[in-house]
Structure 1
Amino acid sequence: MKTIKIILVTLLFGLFLTQGTSLYAQDPMKVSSNVYKKILLENDKVRVMEVEFKPGMTTSWHSHPNHVIYAETGGSIEITEKGKTATAMEIKTGSAMYMPAVTHMAKNVGNSTIKLIVTEMKPMMHKKMNSMRPADKKR
């Protein structure tokens, strides 16, 4: 009986981890390759992606850490964040925007192709952050 409980708890925990990852950590390069065209640069600090939205195109749900967007060409886009209603916005050519971490989908609702450069800032690992903290002072 005890073994069955352990197996069930392990399976439920595994299911929770799998579902949590699939709902909130979708890589735009994998799930929205129709729009996210290529990686221009990737290292342990950033990932820079080329994005091209033709009129009417929609991305799948995906996630970003904190990121910066530069508009090579602008247009009209509709963004829907997880748990919120869709928001329309006009992106101007040559503009840059900082965006906090988000899970969302997007649709080009205009008549022009939107070209973006998206730069994701990779979070520092907990271990690295701890090594940067000053040592506790002894009293």
Structure 2
Amino acid sequence: MPLFAQDPVVSDGDKYSVLFENDKVRVLDYKDMPGEKTHEHSHPAFVLYALVPFKRKLMLPGGKVIMREFKAGDVLYSDAQTHVGENVGETPTHVIMVEMKSGMSMGVK
């Protein structure tokens, strides 16, 4: 994973917007249309909540490709990741992402 891949709000500000941010998390709203693709960017560990059904292709550094299909209400956890995302379905993508900031304590003992 490149150490200096761009913040998605910078690389794709037309698709990502910040809904909330503090020292623990950043909450992003992401929307795109079928056929649209992001620039390469990085996320810290995150939780994704799908608001609508959609299908995506994620292209990771080194050539690995991940296909993902979501139903409305699906939730996914991911470790930190750098990728290019592409909407390869027939419906718009709309998700809420909660990015974890480093040093965050989960309060679990």
TM-score, scaled to structure 1 = 0.70
Higher helix share: 1
Structure 1 counterpart of 2:93, from 101, 114, 131: 114
Task: Say which SS state the counterpart of residue 68 (structure 2) adopts.
Answer: strand
Structure 2 counterpart of 1:43, from 6, 22, 30: 22
* Structure 1 position 79 matched with structure 2 position 58: yes
Q: Kindly tell me the number of residue pairs found equivalent between the two proteins.
A: 104
Distance 1:50 1:124 in 2: 23
**Which segments of 5 or more consecutive residues in structure 2 lack a partner in the other structure?**
105-109
Distance 1:86 1:33 in 2: 24
1:27 alignment partner AA:
D
Larger radius of gyration: 1
Task: Say which SS state the counterpart of residue 51 (structure 2) adopts.
Answer: strand
Match of 1:102 in 2: 81
Distance 1:71 1:95 in 2: 5
**Greater RCO (Cα-Cα under 8 Å, separation 6 or more):** 2
Spell out structure 1 runs of 4+ moving beyond 6 A.
none
**Which segments of 5 or more consecutive residues in structure 1 lack a partner in the other structure?**
1-19, 126-139
Structure 1 contact 108–114 (Cα < 8 Å) conserved:
yes
Higher strand share: 2
TM-score, scaled to structure 2 = 0.88
